[in-house]
Amino acid sequence: MKNLWKEFKEFAFTGNVIDMAVGVILGGALKDVVTALVNMLMGVISGIIKIPASLDEAVFKMSIGPAGTVSIKYGAFVSSFINFLLLALCIFLIVKSINKAKDKLKKEEESKPDEAAKPDDIVLLEEIRDLLKNK
């Protein structure tokens, strides 16, 4: 039982799992922001184009003769698709900026001279000293 608990703690508190949990929480919050943005934009566009303010109510009606009409409710799909595109764009921009920052830090680390590296002649002299000690 102790081993199981120990393994669970190692799994649950590693950096990757915690990072993923933070990402899920922020993603949920970002989704709400993007949904509010889409609703606001659709309110403005609906005033210009004369479509329903909420895309969920948008319907295409088509008559099929004496049998009546067919209603195609396309609004919910269009609204979800716009939400998806904006959310994907936001996540792309966030990931791109994080990768750019990581690359910049990596280049700075690579450009720093390695202070721990010893000159070749010192390394050679230390090897000779160690060989002489062993004799």
- Tens of pLDDT, residue by residue over 85-133, are 888 888 888 888 888 998 998 888 887 766 567 788 888 899 999 999 9
Going from the C-alpha of 18 to that of each of 5, 62, 97, the distances in angstroms are 17, 51, 20
Phi then psi dihedrals of residue 126, to 5 deg? -65, -35
What residue ranges do the domains of the chain occupy? Answer: 2-134
CA distance 37 to 57: 18
pLDDT of residue 129: 92
CATH topology of domain 2-134: 1.10.1200
Strand, coil or helix: 113: coil
User: pLDDT tens digit string along 101-112?
Assistant: 989 988 888 877
Residue 123: its pLDDT value, please?
87
pTM over 0.75: no
Phi and psi (nearest 5°) for 69? -125, 155
